[in-house]
Amino acid sequence: MSSEGIMDRITAGMAAKNRSLIGVASVFLPNLLIPLEFQPAMTGALLILVFCVYTTVLPNYKTWAPLRIGLAIPAIYLFIDYGWSRAYPRPNRGVHLGMATTAFYGIMKVVEVCWVRDLDDERPRWIQKPQQALDKEQTTSKKVPAPGEVAPVVLPLPQDTWGRIAYSVDYITSVRGASWYGDRVWDFAPPYLYNYSPPSRAGHILFNLAFAIFQYLAADCLDMYIKSIPWDRTQGKPVTSLPVPLQITTVLAIAVHTILGLTFPATSYAILAVSLGSYPSSWAPILPNFPFAAPTMSEFWSKYWHHLFRRTFRRLADGGLWYLPGPLKTNRSFNRAIRYTIIFFLSSLLHVAILAGIPSDWAYPMPRSFLGIDAGTVKFFLTQPLGLILEDARGQHKSFRFVASHASPPSKRFKLHYIQTERDNRMRAIKGVLLTCDTAVKQILLTLNEKEAFIVEDLDETHVIIAPDKVERVRSALASELEKNAFSLEAAAP
């Protein structure tokens, strides 16, 4: 078929379906069609959550812990009311899915802020983007460093009321780690957000407009193809009723349509926000890579899929690991397996929750034999940890951890050279171990050294000599700190 024939068919199909702007919005931007009756519940839940985050950056934040624990209960109730209440009708299936997803994310955020955070006292921090740090370095030094040589700058917690409010709102509305401020990201952001810097506002808008048009045409063609297939939709699993070749093409079409269901709303909101004055650097593409190109399962979940629930899944997994017995906490392989299991259990719970609340007349028949749960969804997500553990056992996983300063694995961020060096200190030779690291790790070492002195000689920005009897203790403490700040598969969100 010629290109003209293809375009004629696409145009005819679009005209036949006679889609209005409201119809397009219901498919790609369902949040715009949320009934106003649900807004009080969401507003109340968000206000409670903002207040709880605000109290975590107060000087006496620990004294507010009992209040945060108590406020979590009404906040969770309001999110449940927003996501699954049947008191008011919802326009369609897409609106329900969007509301339920937002509500479940809010519940996880409440649990993380009000309960998990008080276990380990971890408070997220703003990180200045490398390019901004490079600009400052160039203005204060005659030497012009390369971007990779600039250490990430951890910004201090806000000290004034408005700063704390901005911190709270920015944290709650940041699902991937991007900030409303263009010069920074959150310390849990995936690596590609650190260096994302569009050339201009106009270029960002024009590119995304062209990309949105392309996505709409692609989605429309896929929709036409799927609807043209004569499958038996009365079955719980209609795809398997097709011939094998059609099963393959249909599954691929549905997979691409699922990807477009993520990218099209993200692109549309980016265009709207940047047009209204938001920083273009705050609106990176939702998928850093093309998912079908992932060579392994670990890379798919950590580098190719979206990071929307990255922070909340990781923090809730941390809460579960907190209660492990002491010996098991130090077993990294066991911790990794437990983290995988918790993260994908939460992901299956998320998908089951948003699907279980869909009215039966909105969805095709689905096998929900136990408490309305879709068994296929549970099987899919709960088999992922098994696959990742087997991949780890075979040694196929590599260190997919990325640091804020530049994309180098933590295993390469510091190296202990077991050579004995000496320095003359009034005729007294002192032996030590040379440690090579990057500038970001050097700052961590200096902080650790303030608690327990182990640095014998500070040589330069990337080398220190440490006491031989403190090597294992330093290695363990440094690995623990890097684990908190590393961008790893354990921190990825499915």
- Alpha-carbon distance of 351 to 486, in angstroms, equals 27
Task: Read off the pLDDT of each residue in 427-432 and give the average, rounded to a whole number.
Answer: 54
Which position has the higher pLDDT, 451 or 64?
A: 64
Tell me the pLDDT tens digit for each residue of 469-480. 777 778 777 777
Encode burial over 392-401: b for 16+ CB neighbours within 10 A, e otherwise: beeeebeebb
Residue 487 has pLDDT above 50, yes or no: no
SS3 373: strand
- Mean of per-residue pLDDT scores for the chain: 76
pLDDT of residue 70: 95
Q: Are 37 and 87 in contact (CB under 8 A)?
A: yes
Q: Are 473 and 481 in contact (CB under 8 A)?
A: no
Q: What percent of the chain has pLDDT over 90?
A: 22
pLDDT of residue 151: 54
Task: Read off the pLDDT of each residue in 92-111 and give the average, rounded to a whole number.
Answer: 86
Tell me the pLDDT tens digit for each residue of 37-53. 888 999 999 999 999 99
- Alpha-carbon distance of 191 to 405, in angstroms, equals 9
Residue 483 has pLDDT above 50, yes or no: yes
Q: Which residue has the tokens 């109730």?
A: 77
Q: Tell me which range, 160-169, 323-332, 469-478, is most confidently predicted by mean pLDDT.
A: 160-169
Please name every residue paired with 432 in a beta bridge, in sequence order, or none if there are none: 421
